[in-house]
Amino acid sequence: MSRQDPQESVYLMLDIIRAGVKIYTLHDRRLHEKESKDSFMNLMVWALAAERAHDESRVKSERVRQAKAERRRQAREEGKAIVGRVPSWIRKVTPKGGEPYYELDEERTEVVRLIFQLKLDGHGLGAITNELVRRGIPPMGNRKLSTGEMKWQVSTIRKWLSSPTVYGQYQPHIRVDGKKVPEGDPIDNFYPAAVDRETFLKVQAILGKHNRGRTAEEGENMLRGLLRCECGGNLSLHITKRGDRRYKYLRCNHDFMDSCTSKRFDYDGVESLLLQTLQSIDWSSVLGIQSDKNRDVISTLKERKVVLDEDLNETNKRMTNLSKQLEALDEPSMFLLNRLSELEKHATALLQELGKVSEELEGLEHAVETSSNSFKQGSEIIEFLGLPLRSIDPEELVKKRVKMNSILRREIDHVYVSKLNEDLWRWSVVATGGESLFDLDINGKCTDGDIASAHTGLCGVQYKKVDRRKFNRVKKDSIEFS
């Protein structure tokens, strides 16, 4: 109570005493109670002490605020290392007689880079955590479990992957009503960068898709998270064993509730046909739909950026002219001051919108640039996975399937599976932008051939591409495997 407003403290004190509660104050060793003859005098003495304590607390708080504001100014204008608590991969060095500075802990920085690379390779947060444990990498930070031991936490991995501090950015904060809120714009290049900004943005694009974490089927299922049944359910991979043999099949999750009549699909057959068909597709043409849409948005954003830049330049010129007019006056003009304040608010709003437009523009340009590169890499992986499985190292096979899944999920929203008749299934591929890219009609009538003998008779596929101008499906070539 001594730190509250004195008037409110006195009212609160009176309410407590009237309720029959006795209060003993330590600083003056007085007992305050309802029946005391000196209760009023004691309360006055306490009120004076409370007012003095309140003033002292206010002065101390103001000094702390001023000191913190000065440190934030030094960080923003002079780049001084004023932050005591730094990220786990950074050290604050204070040389004798010199200015403190930050430097990377190289060993820990390598761990951060590994985490980002694993995410770019398509691993979920849980899988990254398990990989760090498998490699025997000790956790960083001071967070301990109730047992006293330290472990890698998924929340820590998520925080690092989402934090701009990894490429050197620092966001000063202030407290408003007891809550931390950002103060001003972030400071770039404040910390030494553990990863570059381009890598950070690529990871944000992956995280923005709300990709599901690693499951037990990761490494086994290249199509994880993509397949949807015509009943609305998701097709997931199931593995059964009979003796020494393993059987892999795709099954709708609604099948477990008897609400789907779709049959099970042989996974190896579907994967083999899909890989061979992917090799035959002109991806530069297929991805042109999404790329063109992105380029249209990029063009619009660039036009908007030009307008905002011009508006900001004009606003700055007006502010400069008003400032010169105010300096020339003997007494300040309220009209000019109000006008200058309005222009400053307008300039601030323009800067905020410019920041958002620039960020969105940069993200889309990255998407267009990396799209073709992703599928160049994907083509190499498709060729690799097309080799006989017995000739591929199992660990390498898992890594390639995970990477291919990451590439597919970056460009493809889902694959819709529907049954046309007893012998024909249609696999409709839909891009992340919602456009239908192409159909694969898989025919199961064949009974001979390498694929047929190895993969339960699935040996035919018909490829239909989407007309990019009208989005009407047109028949292309029929590709038969036997």
84 close to 102: Cβ distance less than 8 angstroms: no
| 3-state secondary structure at position 464 | strand
> pLDDT, tens digit, for every residue of 92-148?
888 887 788 889 999 999 999 999 998 888 788 888 888 898 888 998 865 554 445
Give me the pLDDT at residue 166, please.
Answer: 93
Among 418, 5, 24, CA closest to 228: 418
Give me the pLDDT at residue 287, please.
Answer: 53
Separation of alpha carbons 398 and 385, rounded Å: 10
Is residue 446 over pLDDT 60?
no
Range 90-207 has CATH code 3.90.1750.20: yes
User: 294-308 in b/e burial notation, b at 16+ Cβ within 10 A?
Assistant: beeebeebeeebeeb
The structure tokens listed for 303 are: 């036009």
> pLDDT, tens digit, for every residue of 333-363?
787 788 888 889 989 999 999 888 888 888 7
Give me the pLDDT at residue 330, please.
Answer: 77
Give me the pLDDT at residue 286, please.
Answer: 52
Handedness of CA 208, 213, 219, 225 (dihedral sign): negative
Q: Using a CB cutoff of 8 Å and minimum separation of 24, what contacts does 443-451 make?
A: 446/481, 446/482, 448/482, 449/481, 449/482, 451/269, 451/272, 451/273, 451/481, 451/482
- Give the mean model confidence (pLDDT) for residues 261-283: 69
Give me the pLDDT at residue 109, please.
Answer: 94
> Does the reported pTM lie above 0.95?
no
Is residue 472 over pLDDT 50?
no
| 3-state secondary structure at position 227 | strand
Give me the pLDDT at residue 416, please.
Answer: 83
Burial of 143 from C-beta contacts in 10 A (0-12 / 13-18 / 19+): exposed
Is residue 462 over pLDDT 80?
no
Contacts of 416 (CB under 8 A, 6+ apart): 228, 230, 427, 428, 430
Burial of 157 from C-beta contacts in 10 A (0-12 / 13-18 / 19+): buried
The structure tokens listed for 121 are: 């390779």
> pLDDT, tens digit, for every residue of 27-76?
667 777 766 666 666 677 777 777 777 777 777 777 766 766 676 676 66
Query: Given the DSSP bridges, would you call strands 265-266 and 245-252 parallel, antiparallel or unpaired?
Result: antiparallel
- Give the mean model confidence (pLDDT) for residues 438-444: 66
Separation of alpha carbons 148 and 380, rounded Å: 47
* Domain range annotation of the chain: 6-74, 90-207, 227-282+382-480, 288-379
Give me the pLDDT at residue 72, please.
Answer: 64
269 close to 455: Cβ distance less than 8 angstroms: yes
> pLDDT, tens digit, for every residue of 180-221?
777 767 788 888 899 998 888 888 877 875 444 444 455 678
Q: Tokens 């037990």 sit at which residue?
A: 216
3-state helix, strand, coil in the chain (%, to 5): 50, 20, 30
What residues pair up with 464 in beta bridges, in sequence order?
439, 475
> pLDDT, tens digit, for every residue of 293-318?
666 788 888 888 888 888 888 888 88
* Residues above pLDDT 70, as percent of the chain: 64
Q: Tokens 């709708």 sit at which residue?
A: 252
What does 158-193 look like in DSSP terms, one character per residue?
A: HHHHH-GGGGT-B--EEEETTEEEE-SS-BTTSSPP
Measured torsion, CA atoms of residues 258, 253, 481, 288, in degrees rounded to the nearest 10: 130
